[in-house]
Structures are given as structure tokens and as C-alpha cells.
Structure 1
Amino acid sequence: MSSHPRLDSYLEEWKNSTTHAHLAADPDFNSSLETVLAGSEYVLAQLERNQALLDALIDGELILKPRSQQQMDDSLAEALSEVDSEDQLNQVLRQFRHRHMIHIIWRDLGMSADLNETLESLSALADVCIQQAARVHYKWLVEKHGVPRDENGIQQHLVVIGMGKLGARELNMSSDIDLIYTYPHRGQTDGDRSLDNETFFTRLCQKLTQALNSQTIDGFVFRTDTRLRPYGDSGPLAPSFDFMEIYYESQAREWERYAMIKARIIYSEDGAGQELMTMLRPFVYRRYLDFGAIESLRSMKQMISDNLKMKGMRDNVKLGPGGIREIEFIGQVFQLMRGGRDPELQIRPIQQVLERLAEKELVPHAAADDLLQAYRFLRLTENRIQAWRDEQTHLLPEDQEGLQRLATLMQFDSVSAFIETLSMHRNRVQQQFEALFNADTTEEEPEDAPLARLWRNAIDDEQRIPLLESIGCKEAQAADDAIRKLQESRTLHAAGPRGSDLIAEIVPHMLGLALPLENSAETIERLGLILETIARRTTYLALLKENISAMQGLVKLLSASPWFVHWISRQPILLDSLIDPRQLYQPLTRADLKEELEQQLVTVSGDLEQEMEVLRQFVATNRLRVAAADVSEIVPLMIVSDYLTEIAEVTLEAALDLAWRDMTERHGKPSDTGDGYGFVIIAYGKLGGIELGYGSDLDLVFLHNSSPNSMTDGKRQLAAENFYARLAQRLIHIMTTRTPSGQLYEIDMRLRPNGNSGLLVTSLSAFEKYQHNNAWTWEHQALVRARPVAGDPGLVDSFATIRQKILCEERDADALREEVIKMREKMRDSLDKSSDDCFDVKQGRGGITDIEFIVQHMILRWASQHPELCQYSDNIRQLESLDHSQLLPDQWGERLSGLYRALRAHAHRSALMEKKPIVGIDQLAQERKLVAEAWQLFMLE
């Protein structure tokens, strides 16, 4: 770097200094010193004014290592301990800031610190100055006016929110700091010269701002901007929490959501700040995938693009093309749209955001890597620009000498090499920025597009059918009837201006997707039901407009099954799931289900009503994933049931956790439960048999193992039996109560000992006794398909032992067969819907239930001699066990498994089509014949 007289003079004086003679002769130190002083006129000026600053840094060996925030805090607290006037406070703060800025710049320009250390150190410096200045001024005001208290006499403290780069702990070398001041509750101070809290905190914030921002002979601490507060300059400087909540719920604009992403509590003495952030989080991160905000974000993007055309922007590394602001905008768009459903995106530092987006494949890894590299390069460049004179500028130097200095500090041999690399990074950012909102969006429908004109009734009636036929519609008349019905919908006409505009844009696209389908008319009718549901909910209409993949997915699913109409109409939030086909058609594994549900519940922890909503949305979303994969034939039937069963199990586990939490908070837990629940949920029927369908209810039995005289250990004690009864009631309430998102599952408890007349929760010993002495044969049949699905691991093992013992009891073969046949005939008489023209796939003679009864009879008949038959609860693996034990001759094991799968597939498809599992008498004839043969072979001979 080139030299200049002031620098040469200072270096000469330094070399002749005897204070640190050993360093003055050290070529490495002198090289670092020259680099720093040549790169920062600000540092040179400060050292010229006060050589003691450098001496202090050297003596404390601070040049060699970073300073933690705690070290800074301790140092400033000590320096302020004797301060008793504003002038003294301002002087100490500014000298403290100079000392630490020299330290940070030295390490940055000398390449001792990486970018992250520099940003963190600058942010920590600002935090410490804000906190210490706030404490001092609060103390002085309290001495003058008394302690501010709310109506209940509780002391009130200031809360300071850091926004922007300070909030994200990404402060640059000469950044201003954006602050929002607030306090919890209204009230007044308790001193002789009492003030209301609003006046007290307004004065405090004025003093704090002056302490940081005012220019004195010693300079300033941080340029402070408070215009991001509610209503900006026209709003109160220090609003209360209530004021903040009302404003952000009803008045805040979309850009304020964008700004709040980086908000961080800088100062809060009593933890009230976290309470505020929890309150504001729903404003920033909506629970639905927020495409209703996309137009505001698009406008913000356009504003950024327009600003690029302003004079001088080409040389602005922050606001210019491919600059820092564009990188931050890209990351924050994804956070705003998806952060409400994915708490892992609710983070502040942009580097972490970009890494997280790549991990979640929301941004290609290569693109995220380009953005990260560009961000680091641009921020280093920005810091070195600002380190020169401690000025808030983002412009490249205009003179060749300044450019050469910057290039050298950025480790380049020439200006041209530096500019070439800078341009490369900015071009990559610009490409990503321009691509934002362009991928995966619908193109604007031309005004003269045929389907758009048809929807507007802008073509003659006689042209409608030929138009539909010309685009491949095979049932043009029926499809046209469905379109006319939709055009006449009162609900769509009442959608309001915004809704009507969106409907006019998306319906032609939907028709273009639906008309070529085999069942186009039926599909259009189903689309109409969805549109009527969301007609006044423009967020969902906007979602479909902005995502062609979502629209394609919706049409595909509605064409496949009316089941989707029912669920999406009831919970439009499911439309979010249609956006990413990779996620939609790939159901989650059990581990992923647990992780997803845990993440979603964390965002509403402690609010049972919202937790119940989360459970319902979780089940609906994942059930939709399974159904989408099912109708697309991506997964086979048996795997579909596995997925649906795992969804129910994970949900039951979570619901039990919530019920346990609420009960133990009130009553404590039974004293003899140890670390567990002392409670277990036993699944029977389809859940027990891992054969859950889309509309299946859950057959459950609840057991506990508390001793008869056990009590809970809380303040409001309960007998353990009463505790578990209430726990079960709470669990059923969580599972079955209808909320705005509907019901989780129907719960059937009739298989518990003594049925509806029995206790809701049975002790393990009483259950075992009942099964040995009082249970009917059909109850032992039911036990064949029973298994634990949630609760205490110890009870899971105990139940398995009891089940094994009961199923392995020696039974009279003839009496057993007679009981099973009698029960089957009884069921057939009351449930079979077969007739001369149709066959009931489930209950008809030769249907699913016949196979299930054969298997249950065989296990009860042979388990005493073959205990391995009790290992599984699902029909297919039970058949495999019977076959492996050579109890099913002549390939009957494999044959019955195939028949069972085929019959279940028909019943399953009927459920998806919302039809009863009944087929024409000529269908499944061969399957029915073979099942009847098996019944004759295993049950009657």
C-alpha cells in the first residue's frame, strides 16, 4: 500500500519509541501496524490523539486475541462505576468504543480475525454499550422519580429490541443501530416526583439515545435510529407491550414483518423481553405457508430493483446490483413464507439461514454456496471500506489510490483482479435475486386465452362444447355443465374484489388441467367445492396462483378421489402441502414424523387449544401425503397402512404427553410410577393389526399398574385410580374434541374389560384376571390383534407377557371352533350388506372378515403348542407364522395372504372414493370362492 506523510511520521515516531522497544524492532509487528494504519485513517487519527490507546492494547496483549462480550461488559462496568454525570458517562462510553474499535479493526485488517469474529465483536460492543448506558440512566431516573411499577406494584424495566444487523449479530464496522424501545405495563413511579410509566420510559429512552448517538468532542458511540418502532417518528418512543401487540396485530405492514425477522432482545433485566418476542412471533411467522404476503414481497423486490437504477448504485456493495441487501432479501423471503411451519427457519444470521435453506433443499446447494461466498466477500469488502474513516458508507473508493488500498486489504495483487472477483460474486447474487418469484409460478393468462374467455362468458354458447372438445375433453357436455354451475356459484360471486380477481386468474388454469382427464366433469365439480371453501380466504387463492405445482397437485388428487375434497375443504391449510411435490408424495418415516410433530408443538407449547390444532393439522397433512402417494401408486397398500398406523401412534404418544403434563401440573404424579407413566395404551382392531385406513377409528384399552392405595404427590392429591381415569378422559378429550381443524380420531373403548359398563382404565392385574376368568372367546380373538402403542415401557413388556400367556392357554378345539363360527354368523347376520346383486367385501361370505376369523381361530387353537404364533398382531405376518409352523397345508398360507391383500385393496379403494366396500356380484368371484374353500377346510372339516 502507498504511504503518506502522516503515516510515515507516526511510524517513525513509533520506531523511535522506548515504551515498547522490543516491538518497535519486530518486523512482523511493524508490518501489521503499517497495514492497519494504512488501511484505517480512523485508527491512525485515534492513535495520533492518544498513544495510550495502543499502549493499553499491547500491554494487555489484547491485540493477540478476541474479546468476549462478558469481558467487554466487565471492563465497561468497571469504567462506569464512578460516573456521576451525563458528560462523564458520554466520555467513558466513547473512549471505550474507540479502544475496542481499534482492537477489532486491527484484528480484521491484520487477518487475525475471520469475518464471523469481526461481526460478533462489533455486535457485542454495541450490546454492552446499550445495556450499560440503559442501566445508568434507569438508575438516575429512579433516584429522581422513583421505581416505575404496574397496577399490581410490580417493578417495570425497559426492554430494548435490536433490529437489522444488530439484531442478527452481524453489525458492520460503521453501522448505525436500529432500536425499538418498549416496556411491559402502564402504571406510575413510586417516588415523590411521580411520573406515569410512559413518561418515565420516554425520558429514559431519550437519554439513552442521546448517550449513544450525540456527537461530542470524543465522537459518538453508535448512530442510533428508532424509526422502526410502531408508527415510526409519529409513534411513541417507548410504547407498552399492549400497544405493541395491538399495533402488530392490526396495523403493521408487510415490510415490518420482514424487519422483525432479525429482531433480538438486547436489554431486558427481568426476562420480560422474551415474553414480548413470544407474543410477536405469530405476527412474523404465520402458522400457514404465507403466500398471501407474496405480492408485498414482490413489491419489495421491485422496489429494490428500481433503486438499483439510481445514480451511483453500481459502486454500492450493499444496495447495488448483486449486493448484500439482495442476499438478505433472498433468505428472508423463505423465512417469511415458511418459518411459521418450520421453526428451524426462525433464525437471524443470514449465513445460517442460507445453510439451513440448502439443508432443507429449499435452495439448491450450489446456489446457497454461491450466496454464502458472495456474502462473506461483500461483508469483508464493506468492513474494509468503513474501517478507513469510520464512516457509514458502502461505496467503493472513487480514486485509484483508494481502490488499490482496498484491493490490497482484500489480499489481491491488483485492482483489476479484485474488481473481477467482486463482479463475479455480484453477478451470481444478481442471478439468484432475479430468479426469485420466477420459478414454479403460473404465467399470466393472456386476455384472449380461450378458457379465460369461456370463464368470463366472452364466447357464444354454441362455441363452448367445440372449444372443450378441441382441447381434448372427452365428456364436453358434462364438463360444460359443471363449469356453468361453477360460474353461477353465489359463493364465488361473493368473494370480494380481491378474491374475484384471483379466482378469475386461477380458474382457467385449473380448467386447462382438468378438462383432458377421463373424469373431467367430476373433477371440475370437486374443484368447485374447494374454491367455494376458500373463496373469501385470499391467502389460499394466492397460493394456488403463485404455484403451478400446487394447482397441478390439487387437480390430480381431486381427480383421483373425492376423499381429498372432504379433507381439504375442512382444512384448507393442507393446500400448503401441495407446493413441494417432493414432500407431498413421500410420506414420512416414524422418526421423521416424531421430529416434525415435536418441532410444530414447540411453537405453541403450553397452549393446549393450539396444541390440539397442531395435532390435527399434523395428522391431516401427513394423511394427505400418504393418500397422494397411494393414489399415485408410489407405495403399495400394505405400506399405506403402515404409514397411517405410524401417524396414529406418533399422535397418540404426543397426546398422552400433553394429557400427562396437564394432569401432573395439577395433581402431581402417582407416587409409585418412578420415571414412567405407570400407564399404557393398548391398540386393538385395525390399529393393533397395523392395518389402519383413512377413516378408521381407534380401538383402545387403557391400563395402569398403580397399587390400590397409591396417591399422587402434588398439592391437589388424587387417588391413583382416579388420576388415571382423569388422565384417560383428558387423552380422549384431546383426541376427539372437534376444533376448527376437526377431530383427530374417533376412539372406541368397547373392547375394555366388561365393555361400556367397565372402568375406563383397568389395572394390569385386574385386566389379567379378567382375561383368565371372565373374557369371552371373541375377546381373546380381539387380543390376537392387540399390541401396546404408547406409554410406560415397563407396562409394554408386562402386557406382552400377559397376552402371550392368555393366547397360549390350552383350549378345547371343538368348543373353540364352535364359538368362533357362532360369532362369525352373528356378525354376518347383523353387518353383511351382500345381496343377490352385490357382495360386501368386508363382511360377506368369502370376504375379509372370514380370513381374519380363520387366522384368529388358528392362533387360539395352536398357540399353546406354538408360542411363536403370538409374536405379531397383524394378519399377514400371523399367516406367515402359521405357514412357517406348518399349520397351513398346500400353499394356503401364501394363498390366503394374497387373497387378503386383494380384498383389502378393494375395500381400501372404496374408502378413498368414499363408497362402501361393496362390489357387483360378478366381481371378485374367484377370490370369494377360494376364501370359502379355506373356511370349509379350516373351520368346518
Structure 2
Amino acid sequence: MSLPPVFDNLPASLRRQAEHYRQGLGEGPWGALEPEQQQRLNLLFAMSEFIGARLSRDGDWLPEFFRLLSQHLRHPQYRATLDEELARCQDEASAKRVLRRFRHRQMVVIAARDFLNLAPLDESLAHLSEMAQSLILAARDWLTEYLASRFGYPRSAAGERQPLLILGMGKLGGGELNFSSDIDLIFTYPENGTTDGPRQLDNQQYFIRMGQKLIGLLADVELEGFCFRVDMRLRPFGEAGPLAVSFDAIEDYYQEQGREWERYAMVKARAMGEGDQASALHTLLRPFIYRRYLDFSAIDALRRMKALIESQLRRSSLTDNIKLGRGGIREVEFVVQSHQLIRGGRQPALRRQPLMPVLAELARSNCISGRDHKRLLEGYRFLRRLENLLQALSDKQTQTLPDNPDDQLRLSLSLEFDSWEALRETLSRHMSNIHEVFRETIGGDEQEEEELGELPALWQHPDPDVSEILSAQGLDSELAEPLMRLRGEFARRTIGPRGRDTLDKLMPRLLGELAGQPGQSELLQRMMKVVATILTRTTYLELLLENPAARQQLVRLCAASPWIADQLAAYPILLDELIDPMQLYQVLPPDGYAASLREFLMRVPEEDLEQQMEALRQFKQISRLHIAAADVTGVLPVMKVSDHLTWLAEAIVEQVVQLAWNQLVVRHGLPSCAGDGKGFAVVAYGKMGGLELGYGSDLDLVFLHRADNGYTSGDKGIDNNHFYLKLAQRVLHLFSTRTLSGILYEVDMRLRPSGASGLLVSHIDRYDEYQRQEAWTWEHQALVRARMVFGEPAMVKRFNEIRESVLCLPRHEAQLNGQVREMREKMRDHLHKGSERLFDLKQGPGGITDIEFITQYLVLAHGHRLPQMSRWSDNVRILELALQLGLLSAEEADLLVHTYTEIRDTNHHRVLAGLSGLLPHSEKPEGCEAVAALWSRIFDKDHEKGE
């Protein structure tokens, strides 16, 4: 804190004011002060009429004032002092005197600490709020005992005592009360019933009477003034509603009749005191305030409220208002509370009343940029400090800058400016910054309306010159017919007035985004597939309407990939991800998927299995969208795309096993063999095993366990083998059950020991035995691409040992060559879909499968003398290792790796483009012919040599 100005340097007019209050104080109290105290008091008398008027009439209290002034109390003992003084009051008149004197004295201390730069803003706001809450609750509790002699205490039908709960609204609710603020309150109580005293009243009558008296204790103007102006208009039904209502009534009101502006107000609502009952009240109100989805309907309501304020400003000719003017305190509140209403349902950390911590959370979670956070926070802190000092000049409720030079000078000195002009310049900069952020958030865009030209009118009122209007807006004239047909289809849909209004505003903006895009007709068709899906889900229409960035990304992604367009249409929740382009194209690190999924699932109650299953599917879709977005924009190369899709699948496998495990352990207890782990493992084959998953890949899985012959520990115990069978069944159920978001993954179990006729889960010893003694060559080929993706370290180690030992078994090379070739020919006969005109990227000669079979053959043929060939499960690294070990020439290795990568890249992008793996021979990768020739050399030559 910097030093306050020196009294002797103040202008004569301010020193005269100080002299006036000093004379009012009298020589006795003044002379009892130390020189330093006199200097401080002189300065305070000069700076604030409120402080001067109060202290000059309260000389006996000066020693206590200076004691409080010098203390830095984080939590002043307001309530204890108040309770002690109120305990001596026998009537309402004496209680009013105690409350007012206490309020004025504490306000003098808070104001003095502000003017002397002894307190940071946060402390002043917290002390003002805490003092107000203490006054309110102390007055209520005094009234409870005061009324008890006549009415007794209110009780529920079960006889439990009922308190009056008081919701603090606005800045009181946020714990950031300003110096001369009204207090907005709502009175409620838990249950209906009657009082238990001589005169019985039903609880509502009693609490209405208590509420009236409480308002009088706080707001009646007496000789000593008043404590607070009390505003009750935010209660259910406003001024027409009862002063106090029960929890049931308040819940019914907000569920059935609550309006958007009431949601906005309720963001700040805080039940003061009462512990469990206050928590119950907040729980009751939360569904009304915070939707479970991202809720953009709030923005229109906020805009209407802002428009009302601006029209009031125009009508009243108010200027220099630091609260309601452009860039004022209210605009910061609008930005923060709009984000809370929109995102609070999905982000519990935003469900808080204080503004500044929520602002920090918005920056932390990337809802606003660091630059906007800095602008809003610095501007808000400056405005709030200025507001407090402005009101502390005379204890008046004002947010309008003063026009008299003395008050301007007081504010300039208090805020450490050399002049009023310098203060105004800084103030103007802060308010301009705030207004810019406000406009970007919810302020609307007049320029956008101009750029849309005649498109809004065209959509709502078809024009005979549709083609000309479209051309003038940079759109293809051929869109005229499909657009008008689309308009007719949408007009026949029942979507409600709010949805219709939103659609009519959204469609011209979407058309505007199409301008200048290639292939507009096809792109419009893809986009409208998404819009058609959300027609009856107004929240998503509003999301696109209110977020230009989301609209732009919708167009960009639909243009890049029909597959992404289909995903957005099938799962509209993915539209939430389009809001922030910076986040949309970011993918998680390798270990980030597991951590992020665990955090995602924490939002869902553990006992709600259906919601857990839905959350798993949503996380997969959201993550896959981010990967696809990074893919189509070139942020991720194809090899990395497969890596990310595989890491995502691994994270999901882990959570699915954990969910299944938890369910079975609750029912049956722990298997006796589990020890510190689970004794269960998941082995991935195929594309997941080889870290080569695609967007639509299924999972080839095998389940293993290490159970002994014991039993589980629960009341409904079963033998360990049966437990692991149930676990495998439960895992498959969680993967394959169709929820609103579809299935999680298709799971193929045919690679387990004995295939479809084998057990669903095998003991790891039996797996070892099967691989050594019974497995076919094609099963050992599959083992090349096998990898344990879930399991405790001991089982991972054991599986790796089994895999290595089996892959490194000595084999007759000619016999192996023939078996691999025969299996390839069978696959081609059954699975090849190519023709004279079309090439099959997977099964065609020189395609994916040929390269995979060559790779697997190299491992099985040479593993016995080169065991390092069994190290990897992915084709590219196996081929690179084969080059290092001299099993392939540089040209052969380069051909196989390059062609394999190119085919996968082509296949990936054909999936995103909504195309199959069949393409004209003229478009097939160049290396396929050479790979087919290499296949012939490896197998035919080796086969002949063996013969």
C-alpha cells in the first residue's frame, strides 16, 4: 500500500472542511489524541463528509476507532459483538439503535482504511459483505427470541424447528458488497407447519410477520439513519408475491414460472448461515440456474436486460455512470454471469457467487482468453475501488462521477492520480476495454447485420429474384432451388416459437458463412443435415446463432469431411466443441486421454451406470472429433492420427474394466486371487494391437485372468473363475449396449483360444499352452500384432514372455511360406471386393493386407535366430527393424513403409470424405504394383527353394 496524501499539502477548501469537523469534535477528544492520530483524523475529515460527520459526534469512540483502524483482521468479530449488544435490548426501538450505531461505526472503519490506503479492495468488499450478513442474521435471531413469548417457535408437522433462511442476492450474495448498496433479499423456510406458542400462527404467516419486522429493523429511517435499504422485489412473483415462501413453493415457482432474468439473478444467490439447510436450498435451486447442457438461450435474455438498462440511461440522460454505462461494472457482471449460465451446468467450478474467482476460473478453463481476463479483472477492480471511495465520500448510493472539483480532487488523491484528467483517462481506458469484451461476448454485432444484406429477408419471405440475391451475397445461384425446398421442409416442422425465431436468425448467418466456399451445394446439404437434426433442440440452434466461431468451424469441418458432418448430425453434443477453435484442433498427449476421461466421468454419479455408459460414449465422440479436426487440417500426420485413436481406445478400455469390476465387486466381493491388482488383463490384436486404429475400427480383444480355485469375498460369493467370466461378460455389455449415443465399440473376440467355440476369458497358463500346442499359423500371425493394453505389471510381463517365446519358435521356413501364402489366398477369395475397374486398398494385390502378411512372415520366419523381431507390434517399426537386421534391403523396406503409410493415409481421408476403400486403379498408390511384385518374389521364390 502506498502512503496517503499529506494533509498540509491539501487545498484550502479541503482543509476548511477538516477544520469544521474538528471543531464539532471538541478540544477534549481532539487533545487526547496522539499527533499521528490527529494527522490521520485531519486527513479523513478532509476526504470524507461521512467520516467527518460520524466521528465528530462520536468522540468517546475514537480510541476504539484507532484500535480497529490499526488492525488487519481477516475475519472481524462482527457477529459476536452484535449478539452481545442486542442481548441487552428489550424492544425493537433499542434494537434499531444498536444496529444503526454498529453499522455506522464499522462503516467508518472500512471507509477510513480505504482512504488511508490501509486495505486492499478484496478486504474492503469482504468486510462490507460480512458486516451486512452479521447485521441481517443477528437481527433475525434477535427477532426470533423477541417473538417467541407471543408465538413460540415455528415447527414442521414432525415437530422440527424451522428457521427463516435468507438468500442474499447480487453483490451481497457474491460477498462483494459495495459501500452504500441496497441489499436484495429473498425469505424462505424449509417446511410448512405452525408455531408452538400461546398464539399459534401457520409458518408462512409467522415468517411473513418476522420478515416485515426484520425489514423494519434494517431499513426504517430513524434519528440515527438506517442500516440498509432492503429490496425484496427479486422474490417469487415480485412485489405481488408473499414475503416468505416454503422450499416446496420456491421450487415449484422456479421450475414452472422462473424467467431468464431470474436465472441471471440467482447466479448470485447465497443462503446466509444454516449449514445443511442452506446446502439443501442451493441444491434445490441449482437445476433452475444451471442447465445440464451448454445453454446459449441465456444470451438473448441478457441482451434484453442490457437494452433495458441502456434505454433507461437514455431516458434519464445519465452520464458518467461507472456501473450502468458502457464498459461499466454491470458489463463485467454480464460477461461473467453469462458464461456461468451457459457453462455452469457442465463446469461445477463456475457455480460460485463471487465474481473475481469465477473470472479466474473462466481464464483457467479457456472460456475467455488471458487478454480478456486481464482487461476485465483490472477494469473491474479499478471501478469497484472508485465506486467504494465515491460512495464513502458522503455515504450516498451513487455510481455517477462527481462534477464538483473538491470531490474530484478527493477521488484523484485517494486513487493516487495527479489530476482528475489523469483519473478520467485511466477510467476511460478501462471502460473501453470492458465494453470491447462485452460486445464480443453478448453485445451483438451491427456490422454482421449489414454484411448479411438481404439474406434475412430472403429466408423469411421468399423473393422471386432469389438467384440474384444469392449471387449478390457471394453465393451460387444454383442454391436457390434447394434453399427454398429446405425452407419449406423446415416450415412444416413443429419447433415452437422460440426455436422458429432462432432458426430464422441462424439461417441467414449460416448462408453468409457459405459465401466464397467451393462446392456450395454439397456443403449446404451437409450443413443442413446437422441443422435438421437440431431443429427441435433449440439450445443447439442458439449455440450456433450466438457463436460466430462455432458457425465458422461447422462450415470448415463440413467442407473438409462428410464423415465429420455425419458425426455432428448424429451426436449434436459435439457442437459444443466448435465454440473454441483453439481447443478444437488441440489433441491430448499420450497419457492425457486416461486422465481426461477420469475427470469427465467424475461429473457423473458413480451409482448411475446408464449415465456412466453415456459419458463414455460422449467422451469417445468428443475426442474423436478433436482428432479428426486436427487430421483434416493437417495438424496431425496419419501415423499420429492412429496413435491418438489407439490411446483413446486404451483409456476407454481401462475405464470399462474398472466400471465392470466395481459392479461385480459390490455384488460378489473380491476374488481371492486378486491381491494388489485385479488378476484380469485385456490383450488387443489387429489395429489396436498395432497402434493403427482408424475412425471406424472395431476392437479385436482377448481377455485373460490368473484365477486360482478360490472364491470371492462377498456375501454372494462365487468361485474365482466364474467371477472373471462374469467380468468379461460385463465388459462386453458395457461396450456393446446401445445408448442415446450409440455403442461404444464393436468388439471382436474371435481371436481368443479356440475362437468362437472357446471360453470368453482364459487363464493365462491355458493361453500359453494353447499358443504353443494348438494355435494355427494364422493365429501366430495375429499374435505378431498383439499387445496387452490393460493388466497389472506381472501379467504384462508374463504375456510379453509368452508372446516372445511363441513368435520365436523355430519354424520350417518353406512350410511357413506356404501356410502364409495359402491363408492370404483364402482371404483374397472371400474378402477381395476389387474389380477390373476398382482397386481394393485393403485386399487388392500390393495392398494393406499383403504388406501386413509380409511383415508377419518376417517375424515368424526369423524370430528364432533374431528374437528382437518380436519386440514391436506395429508394422512400420517391425519393417524398420527388419532393415536394420538385414532381412530387407533399403529399397524393399522403403517401398513397404512408404506404400503402407500412403495407403493408410488415403484410407483415413477416404473415411473422412465418406468414401469406401475402393478406388479407380488409376488412383491407387504407385507402390502397390511394386509391393505385389515383392510379394511374389518372397513367397513364390522361397516356396520353390523349399521344394
Q: TM-score range by the shorter chain?
A: 0.7 to 0.9
C-alpha RMSD of matched pairs (Å): 3.9
The whole-number CA distance in structure 1 between the counterparts of 2:748 and 2:157 is 51
Contact 1:150 1:156 in 2 (8 A): no
Written as runs of structure 1 = structure 2, the 5 A alignment for 1:728-739 is 728-739=728-739
TM-score in terms of structure 2 length: 0.86
Written as runs of structure 1 = structure 2, the 5 A alignment for 1:361-440 is 362-434=367-439, 436-437=441-442
Give CA-to-partner distance per residue, 1:260-283, whole Å, 9 cap, x none. Answer: 22233422322x433443454343
* Matching of residue 281 in structure 1 with residue 296 in structure 2: no
CA drift at 1:727? 4.6
| SS state at 1:622 partner | helix
| SS state at 1:820 partner | helix
Give CA-to-partner distance per residue, 1:74-127, whole Å, 9 cap, x none. Answer: 555666677787667656555554454343333222211111111122223334
| SS state at 2:889 partner | coil
Contact 2:24 2:57 in 1 (8 A): no
**Pair 1:246–1:863, CA change in 2 (3 A):** farther
Contact 2:24 2:56 in 1 (8 A): no
Give CA-to-partner distance per residue, 1:831-855, whole Å, 9 cap, x none. Answer: 2222333332112332212222222
CA drift at 1:302? 1.8
CA drift at 1:911? 2.0
* Matching of residue 589 in structure 1 with residue 589 in structure 2: yes
TM-score in terms of structure 1 length: 0.87
Give CA-to-partner distance per residue, 1:111-151, whole Å, 9 cap, x none. Answer: 11111111122223334444555556567778955673466
Match of 2:924 in 1: 924
Contact 2:21 2:56 in 1 (8 A): no
Match of 2:3 in 1: none
> Which of 135-144 and 745-754 deviates more?
135-144
| SS state at 2:181 partner | coil
The whole-number CA distance in structure 2 between the counterparts of 1:245 and 1:939 is 76
* Matching of residue 556 in structure 1 with residue 576 in structure 2: no
The whole-number CA distance in structure 1 between the counterparts of 2:648 and 2:446 is 32
* Matching of residue 148 in structure 1 with residue 127 in structure 2: no
The whole-number CA distance in structure 1 between the counterparts of 2:837 and 2:848 is 19
Match of 1:692 in 2: 693
**Pair 1:745–1:404, CA change in 2 (3 A):** same
Contact 1:468 1:515 in 2 (8 A): no
Amino acid at match of 1:486: L
| SS state at 1:313 partner | coil
Amino acid at match of 2:580: D
CA drift at 1:505? 4.7
Give CA-to-partner distance per residue, 1:171-207, whole Å, 9 cap, x none. Answer: 1222233233434455667889776555565555555
> Which of 226-235 and 67-76 deviates more?
67-76
Match of 2:783 in 1: 783
Contact 1:811 1:861 in 2 (8 A): yes
The whole-number CA distance in structure 1 between the counterparts of 2:817 and 2:162 is 77
**Pair 1:619–1:137, CA change in 2 (3 A):** farther
Match of 1:624 in 2: 625
| SS state at 2:527 partner | helix
CA drift at 1:409? 2.4
**Pair 1:847–1:666, CA change in 2 (3 A):** same
Q: Which of 250, 256, 261 matches 1:250?
A: 256
> Which of 280-289 and 74-83 deviates more?
74-83
Q: Which of 7, 28, 42 matches 1:34?
A: 42
CA drift at 1:504? 4.7
CA drift at 1:497? 5.0
Amino acid at match of 1:327: V
CA drift at 1:521? 3.2
Contact 1:704 1:762 in 2 (8 A): yes
* Matching of residue 25 in structure 1 with residue 40 in structure 2: no
The whole-number CA distance in structure 2 between the counterparts of 1:745 and 1:141 is 66
CA drift at 1:696? 1.5
The whole-number CA distance in structure 2 between the counterparts of 1:658 and 1:12 is 79
Q: Which of 313, 324, 342 matches 1:308?
A: 313
The whole-number CA distance in structure 1 between the counterparts of 2:268 and 2:729 is 43
**Pair 1:722–1:493, CA change in 2 (3 A):** same
* Matching of residue 56 in structure 1 with residue 64 in structure 2: yes
Match of 2:231 in 1: 225
* Matching of residue 299 in structure 1 with residue 304 in structure 2: yes
Q: Give the gaps of 5 or more residues in structure 1.
A: 18-23
| SS state at 2:741 partner | coil
* Matching of residue 103 in structure 1 with residue 118 in structure 2: no
The whole-number CA distance in structure 1 between the counterparts of 2:209 and 2:798 is 67
**Pair 1:439–1:222, CA change in 2 (3 A):** closer
Contact 1:493 1:500 in 2 (8 A): no
> Which of 880-889 and 218-227 deviates more?
218-227
Give CA-to-partner distance per residue, 1:206-229, whole Å, 9 cap, x none. Answer: 555555445566654444333323
Contact 1:163 1:259 in 2 (8 A): yes
Match of 2:651 in 1: 650
Q: Give the gaps of 5 or more residues in structure 2.
A: 1-13, 943-947
| SS state at 1:752 partner | coil
Give CA-to-partner distance per residue, 1:875-923, whole Å, 9 cap, x none. Answer: 2222223323332234322221111112222322332233331123444
CA drift at 1:446? 7.9
| SS state at 1:699 partner | strand
The whole-number CA distance in structure 1 between the counterparts of 2:372 and 2:668 is 54
Amino acid at match of 1:645: T
Written as runs of structure 1 = structure 2, the 5 A alignment for 1:85-124 is 93-124=99-130
Give CA-to-partner distance per residue, 1:145-168, whole Å, 9 cap, x none. Answer: 5673466x7776554433211222
**Pair 1:868–1:280, CA change in 2 (3 A):** farther
**Pair 1:381–1:840, CA change in 2 (3 A):** same
Match of 2:641 in 1: 640
Contact 1:159 1:268 in 2 (8 A): yes
Q: Give me the identity figure in percent.
A: 43
Contact 2:166 2:272 in 1 (8 A): yes
| SS state at 2:186 partner | strand
The whole-number CA distance in structure 1 between the counterparts of 2:864 and 2:88 is 88
Match of 2:7 in 1: none
Match of 2:28 in 1: 13
* Matching of residue 885 in structure 1 with residue 900 in structure 2: no
Match of 1:538 in 2: 538
CA drift at 1:435? 5.1
**Pair 1:429–1:440, CA change in 2 (3 A):** closer
Give CA-to-partner distance per residue, 1:49-78, whole Å, 9 cap, x none. Answer: 5445443355xx543333233744555566
CA drift at 1:34? 2.9
Amino acid at match of 2:388: N
The whole-number CA distance in structure 2 between the counterparts of 1:264 and 1:927 is 69
Contact 1:157 1:269 in 2 (8 A): no
The whole-number CA distance in structure 2 between the counterparts of 1:912 and 1:597 is 24
Amino acid at match of 1:378: L
The whole-number CA distance in structure 2 between the counterparts of 1:422 and 1:804 is 72
| SS state at 1:374 partner | helix
| SS state at 1:891 partner | helix
**Pair 1:799–1:509, CA change in 2 (3 A):** same
CA drift at 1:517? 5.1
Amino acid at match of 2:25: Y
The whole-number CA distance in structure 2 between the counterparts of 1:729 and 1:80 is 68
Contact 2:76 2:127 in 1 (8 A): no
Contact 2:332 2:438 in 1 (8 A): yes
The whole-number CA distance in structure 2 between the counterparts of 1:558 and 1:289 is 22
The whole-number CA distance in structure 1 between the counterparts of 2:120 and 2:196 is 49
Contact 1:157 1:184 in 2 (8 A): yes
The whole-number CA distance in structure 1 between the counterparts of 2:926 and 2:166 is 76
**Pair 1:386–1:657, CA change in 2 (3 A):** farther
| SS state at 1:700 partner | strand
Aligned length: 924
